[in-house]
A and B are shown apart, each in its own frame.
Chain A
Amino acid sequence: MTGKLKKRLYRIIVSAIFFFSGMILPHSLLPYLHEILLISAYVIVGYDVILKAVKNIMRGKVFDENFLMTIATFGAFALKDYDEATAVMLFYQIGELFQSYAINQSRKSISDLMDIRPDYANVKRDGEIVTVDPEEVAVGDEIVIKAGERVPLDAVVTSGRSTLDTSALTGESLPRDVSEGDAILSGYINLNGLLTATVTKEYGESTVSKVLDLVENASSKKSTSENFITKFARYYTPTVVIAAALLATIPPLVLSEPFSGWVKRSLIFLVISCPCALVISIPLSFFGGIGGAAKRGILVKGSNYLEAMAQADTVVFDKTGTLTKGVFAVEEICPAPSFDKDGLIRAAAFAECFSSHPIAASLRKAYGMDIDQSLVKNVSEIAGKGLSAEVDGITVHAGNKKLMEEIGVICQDTPDYATVVHVAYDGKYMGYILINDVIKDDSAAAIADLKASGIKKTVMLTGDNKAAGERVGNMLGLDKVYTQLLPGDKVDKVEELLKEQGENSKLAFVGDGINDAPVLARADIGIAMGALGSDAAIEAADIVIMTDEPSKIATAIRISKKTLSIARQNTVFALVIKIGVMILGALNMANMWAAVFADVGVAAIAILNSLRALNTSKL
């Protein structure tokens, strides 16, 4: 508890002592003792409220809480109800204290969450290591990161080897090994070794600044429920105050009853007239949801996007780099009769040992052993067809069907969903190898998860041929697959799908952010994946998933739904209590205590409830 809050607490305690002595001590002890004690209690606890009220009136600001509380309690004094006036002020201040405490608490949880900012950097200058502010480090400077320290700026490791905790940025609990030549990002934590690295980006441009900037500014893009509450709040207070004025005057005139009873009822209205509970708790819920999502490696660029995510019913995926790794790997080795798998892959890997093509790389990887390049001679490429080489002195041809036709070898029928490398050994058909883009481990689970969290339609867009695209679609359980699309066609397809969308449902597009910026922009919600370190993707998308796991999309939807339900709970709770107490008050069935609870008590409870949005670890 801060000093300021403590001071308020002491005032409340002292005032409470006066109040209770005034209530307990017999009235006959001293004339006016009761009144003196109660007024003292009132002044001790409420003087700042009255002062603020006076100050605000001078500034022409009428309908503020302080003013209304002053009027309400003065009204009670005028009605000779000293107990009630003091009790209400006391209770109001207790509520305010509790509310401030709740706000401080939530500000603290949020700043703890955002505590990924590096405090300092160890820079090598003239052979010595000096500790400086990360902002003072330039690109090209050499920095040293010791065990337990945070990486201060984006850099490339020049020496050392270590394990890094990336969870602050990615939400990933598994640490990552790095060594010379690896890129490291600011915000990672060095767990064990000593690393020396060359800075690649200055602090303002580094990942940690970008991420913090994004999350902190996300609240400026407001959701419709926030906008509604802000608008509502503007009309709420004047409406309630006018209703109070009417309640104090009309019924006594019409019913020709004394004013006092009705004034008392109207005071209840004044106490409830602050919309604070709503104004704080709704934005706080969204802030919490955005913060909680960031903790899981999901950056949401605005409350409006978090809100839209809950309404999504169609998710469109780009295939390569999103559902698949975008890396080729050998899927199947199919030797012709009289040859075996090992021989086939060995021949292919050796023949392709000098090539830098991704297909060649995948063959070498599948072979898995060291290749003695001295055994390979006379390599010649045959453009658009493949190559020939002498492996162990025997001619090997590796390539497509056209190559086999050219050398007069008859090859087997092959499936058309993958890239095929046929191999001929000494002019005889040796078999073929199927190479494919690898599907990510969690893609199938991600699609099933999306279905479970209420997504009606999952679509995949790809430039691949029909057979390849549809095969992936079937394996993952996607509802619809569009194949053979050129990059420009993807925008058209998304536009077509947008037209099919219902009124209140949203379409999300998931891409890797590299060449699909126009599509990301066109969709209701653009989601970029695997975006850690890629500025372009962070720029183009509305929601950025730091890791390359498609399963995070369902997580984002669940976070969004939880956030919205908390915001809704708070709205309903605050309105029901406020309106309920007003109705009861007008019917003379509620007292000031209930009114104070409906004001500050409800606000404090709503704030505490919104804090739940921060907790996303189980979603």
Chain B
Amino acid sequence: MKKTFKLEDLDCANCAAAMERGINALDGVNSATVNFMGMKLILDAQDEKFDEVLKAAKKVAAKYDTTIVG
């Protein structure tokens, strides 16, 4: 399943890159892209684990003071 989320308070490009790496490393993620300019996260993860993955991704984002909306 592939979903797009809006990101809030994404102020630093280096953080966006690090966040993208962090989310990609999560179990169950097929691919994650953080679009710094568009302030978006495109998350492609296994269907059955999606909610779990999203929760974990939110934790990663919080490390960079960024909120995943939705």
Contacts and interface: CB of A to CB of B under 8 A. Distances in A.
Chain B associates with chain A = yes
B31 to A, nearest CB: 8
B11 A233 contact: no
B36 A280 contact: yes
B12 A61 contact: no
Interface residues of B, number: 17
Contact of B13 (A61, A217, A220, A276): A276
A275 interface: yes
Contacts of B38: 107, 110, 216, 219, 287
| Interface residues of chain A: helix, strand, loop or mixed (majority) | helix
B38 to A, nearest CB: 6
B33 A220 contact: yes
A274 B18 CA distance: 13
B35 A103 contact: no
| Interface residues of chain B: helix, strand, loop or mixed (majority) | mixed
Interface in A28-80: 52, 59, 61, 64-65
Contacts of A107: 37-39
Contacts of B14: 65, 233, 274-276, 279
A572 to B, nearest CB: 18
Contacts of B15: 64
Given A52-B65, A217-B42, A220-B42, A106 B13 contact: no
Interface in A212-252: 216-217, 219-220, 230, 233
A152 interface: no
A274 B12 CA distance: 11
A233 B16 CA distance: 12
A210 to B, nearest CB: 15
Nearest to A109: B37
Contacts of B69: none
A279 to B, nearest CB: 4
Interface residues of A, number: 24
B42 A59 contact: no
Interface in B2-37: 11-17, 33, 35-37
Nearest to A103: B11
Contact of A283 (B13, B39, B42): B13
A217 B40 CA distance: 10
Interface string A193-221: 00000000000000000000000110110
Contacts of A230: 17
A107 B38 CA distance: 7
B34 to A, nearest CB: 9
Interface of B: 11-17, 33, 35-40, 42, 63, 65
Interface of A: 52, 59, 61, 64-65, 100, 103, 106-107, 110, 216-217, 219-220, 230, 233, 274-276, 279-280, 283-284, 287
